[in-house]
Amino acid sequence: MQEFRNIAVIAHVDHGKTTLVDELLKQSGTYSAHQKVEERAMDSNDLEKERGITILSKNTAIRYKETKINIIDTPGHADFGGEVERVLKMVDGVLLLVDAQEGVMPQTKFVVKKALSLGLCPIIVVNKIDKPAADPDRVIDEVFDLLVALGANEQQLEFPIIYAAARDGYAKYSMDDENKNLEPLFETIIKHVPAPSGKAENPLQLQVFTLDYDNYVGKIGIARIFNGTIKKNETVMLAKADGEQVRGRVSKLIGFHGLDRIDINEAESGDIVAVAGFETLDVGDSLVDPANPMPLDPLHIEEPTLSVVFGVNDSPFAGLEGKYVTSNKLAERLESEMKTNIAMKYESEGEGKFKVSGRGELQITILAENMRREGFEFSLGRPEVIIKEENGVKMEPYEHLVIDVPDEFTGAVIEKLGRKKAEMKAMNPTGDGQTRIEFEIPARGLIGFRGQFLTDTKGEGVMNHSFLEFRPLSGEVEHRKNGALISMETGTAMGYSLFSLQERGILFIDVQVKVYAGMIIGEHSRPNDLDVNPIKGKPQSNVRSSGADEAIKLVPPRKMNLELALEWIENDELVEVTPTNIRIRKKYLDPTVRKRMSR
């Protein structure tokens, strides 16, 4: 009978979860001597590597002495809160990582609240103790206060504490210890995380918490076995959330060891495995013993708060840069995304438009970025919050916003947020010239705020937010103040004309960029939109050629990436996304149609 421990690593963004899991893998001897391993090995897709964030929760398993420890690395961003919530139902303990300098952050609150409500006892890991401004004692007090505020019970408040520097691969029981490896952490996990409660001799109960897809075997459910044993080729009953029950055969059973997936023939209660053979499998479904079916309660999944319309690209440059441009291809791709990503939903709106709903801008832009890299060409509308009706009252989502700003910028930031219907809840100086301010703000007030915020704080501000609740709709929220500079010609942008246009506002394009009529090439310095001609060259006269003159000096343009563009646009504008370019345009390219529609 094997010993198991199932733990999840939870923390705020960038507090070192994935790095810690890396070190646990290395020091447990999971990798063979000749295996070459990258940094942050758990972040497997390109976007995760580039941005240094975890997007999908992933699981791995290590052996320490006689025990198999299943570890789930979770995302830190609130947009992926649905992932974290499901994962916590599958484990018996959590490692709560807190940065020794930053302390408790909004997402720390968010994930701890979920863990405590499930009755999990946290092990506190104070990470990055090698930072110059680290203050572990203050951080532990903050964690304690947070647990008390969230209503933790006595057992949860007697948490074990480990001090660590995951990047350097050591952990210790107290700050004075001289220790060079992670052994104290392994020992604490074995001692404080309870062993799984199920028994191998009971009837089978297994619940799926994440989906994967394989072109050969179809849908794969990653699941935890709560009771009983499961064998390859065995007939079991799939119990769905709506009460439907289907018999089926386990065509493939996969176990985890380090970063590898291994085909296995049998697994027992307490382990985490992947199962294939059921095409209708969904997150939260149970596999049970057909002779004695006892399904587990389905999982609650948080509902989306934001939607964006994906549409077919109909600009003059459509089909020149992408491989997939038709609405059928777009629908197929969104359909396959929904197979594995259950926190998102999509519905067709006709005329090649699809409304995709998710937990936040980041989640939707990551889907768009992945599609763009696969060769898709499409347009995106302005993000809108999802408003629902309860007892005849319209409700909108509110967010809990925490910002850290240098003291001299606090006034400007508070004023801007005031106009966006934000309510200040707390303001504390954190020392070192910074202030931490907490707000409650309607989610639509945050759309387009990040770019403004970075400008106001000269790039030094840090903002984090997490979903709070639905509240009655508040009044109008202020939008973008400035109009757009719109090209009225199709052709190639010339330095001569851009030079005279840069006095009118901030340009988004460089010299020699192809533009079309109705494309937005910059932000106007005034509130109205302005039609301009960026392709006019310098006229030739009988005195000099058109090229000979003083050198033109252009201000570098503002480069718009996907997130910035999506935050910047208004309701009558679209972002055109192709594998090589991101352009911003008006919905109606013809200026006369535009005027008629604006009335």
The answer on whether 16 is annotated among ligand-binding residues is yes
Nearest to 267 by CA among 294, 298, 227: 227
DSSP annotation string for 76-100: -SGGGHHHHHHHHTT-SEEEEEEET
Let me know if domain 484-598 sits in CATH 3.30.300.130.
no
pLDDT at residue number 65 = 78
129 marked among binding-site residues: yes
| CA dist., res. 200 & res. 1, Å (int) | 9
Question: Was 127 annotated as part of a binding site?
Answer: yes
Distance CA 121, CA 124 (A): 10
* Token pair for 400: 């809990």
Q: What pLDDT was estimated at residue 262?
A: 80
Q: What is the pLDDT of residue 46?
A: 52
Amino acid at 465: H
Please report how the helices 106-117 and 136-149 are oriented relative to each other, as an axis angle in degrees rounded to 10.
Answer: 50
Q: Which of 65, 96, 72, 98 has the alpha carbon at shortest distance from 6?
A: 72
Q: Which pLDDT belongs to residue 43?
A: 45
| Spatial distance between the Cα atoms of 515 and 508, rounded to a whole number of angstroms | 11
| Cross-strand partners of 164 | 171
Ordered mean pLDDT values, 10 residues apiece, the chain (599 residues): 78 70 70 46 48 54 80 63 70 83 71 80 83 80 84 82 81 79 82 80 81 75 83 82 79 78 81 81 79 76 79 86 86 81 78 83 80 88 84 84 84 85 83 80 80 79 76 77 87 86 88 88 88 82 62 83 83 88 88 83
pLDDT in tens, 302-356: 677 788 888 888 888 888 888 888 888 888 888 887 776 766 788 888 778 888 8
- Give the DSSP letter of residue 526: S
Q: Specify the pLDDT at position 55.
A: 43
| Chain length of the chain | 599
Which residue has tokens 């903050």? 142
Tens digit of each residue's pLDDT (9 = 90 or more) over 227-256: 888 888 888 888 877 777 888 888 888 887
Contacts (Cβ under 8 Å, ≥6 apart) of 157: 144, 147, 148
Residue 14 annotated in ligand binding: yes
Task: For residue 15, give both structure tokens.
Answer: 């507090």
CATH architecture group of domain 388-472:
2-Layer Sandwich (3.30)
CATH of domain 3-192: 3.40.50.300
Task: Give residue 48's pLDDT.
Answer: 46
529 is in an annotated binding site: no
The residues, ordered by sequence, that sit 6+ positions from 317 with a Cβ below 8 Å of its Cβ are 514, 516, 576, 578, 583
- How far apart are the C-alpha atoms of 352 and 314, rounded to whole Å? 10
CA atoms within 13 Å, Cβ hemisphere of 384: 14
* CATH tag, 205-288: 2.40.30.10
Q: What is the pLDDT of residue 58?
A: 61
Residue 558 is classified by DSSP as: P
The residue ranges of every structural domain in the chain are 3-192, 205-288, 388-472, 484-598
Dist CA 133 CA 38 (whole Å): 29
Beta bridge partners of 58: 73
pLDDT at residue 49, rounded to an integer:
46
